[in-house]
Amino acid sequence: MTVINFTKMQGLGNDFIILDYEEYKKSGKSPESLALELCNRNFSIGADGLIIVNPNPETEGADIGWIFYNSDGSEAQMCGNGIRCFAKYVTTKGLINKKEFSVETKAGLIIPKILEDGKVKVNMSKPVLDPAKIPVRAENPVNFDIEVMGGKVFQATAVSMGNPHCVIITEENTKMLALKHGREIELSPLFPSKTNVEFVKIISRNEINLDVWERGCAITLACGTGACASVVAAIINDLCDKKVKVNLPGGALVIEWEGNAENTDYDVFMTGPAELSFIGDIKV
């Protein structure tokens, strides 16, 4: 058995275990097995995901990198709440000595900025609506039909924020829909890489409510990339303006996007909190 040090952080209740690269190497285990072991809420620390700091990124222009795994041991391209926690972690520990920097991720370079109030604003890059790149098996990713058990049909919009999302805008109870249909849609053959699933209720042009079924995690209290994808979908459908408060079970994010249905070539910006939960050590 080996003892490793860890930090637990959360963004709107979406929680993560963060390991320095030396601690990860000391464990002698793969990221997949560590994620499965450490994220177990009954027998270990418990978390929605595992983040490993990569101090030596290979991408040109990257100041630092990360390795991210969901609690089920699957690697994820991106995680919005996770990247805010990562940004606070590396700046607090002095691994990065500037307020705005670039992070190497599987979704490309992501740029977080630590604000004066302690929140983190992240340039989440451009949304992807090319069906082949999301990926989704639909000719048009905007307002296509998706049928679930019982014959119920939703209209969905698929968006990638570095990871795939299926956004369903509805007047029904979004929490109940996520619980009832989230896993089925996640595993739908329409999504060859599986998908995150967002159920959205429009409150106004500047505010939405959101419940999320996360790929590889199930129901979570918040999803940053899901909030971004949901706002993009709402704007494309002319239901929201360019700056939107997104209410999630764990709290609120502010998402900004200058794009529209005719021109999606704009970066999405996400602003929200990231907080330390606790630090500790564990035998692995």
* Residues 6 or more apart whose Cβ sits within 8 Å of residue 22: none
CA distance 185 to 180: 10
* CA 204, chain centre distance (Å): 24
Q: Are 255 and 246 in contact (CB under 8 A)?
A: yes
CA distance 84 to 9: 10
Q: Are 182 and 215 in contact (CB under 8 A)?
A: no
* Residues 6 or more apart whose Cβ sits within 8 Å of residue 78: 68, 105, 106, 107, 110, 124, 161, 162, 163, 225
* Element of type H or E holding 214: strand 207-214
Catalytic, out of 39, 217, 223, 228: 223
CA distance 171 to 142: 18
Is 166 an active-site residue?
A: no
| Helices 80-92, 224-236: inter-axial angle, 10-degree rounding | 130
CA distance 27 to 48: 20
Looking at the DSSP bridge assignments, the partners of residue 169 are 200
Is 223 an active-site residue?
A: yes
Q: Are 80 and 223 in contact (CB under 8 A)?
A: yes
Q: Characterize 23-33 residue by residue with b for buried, 16 or more Cβ atoms within 10 angstroms of its Cβ, and e for exposed.
A: bbeebebebee
Amino acid identity of residue 59, one-letter, is T
Catalytic, out of 39, 79, 217, 228: 79
Best CA proximity match to 195, nearest among 177, 217, 179:
217
Catalytic residues: 79, 223
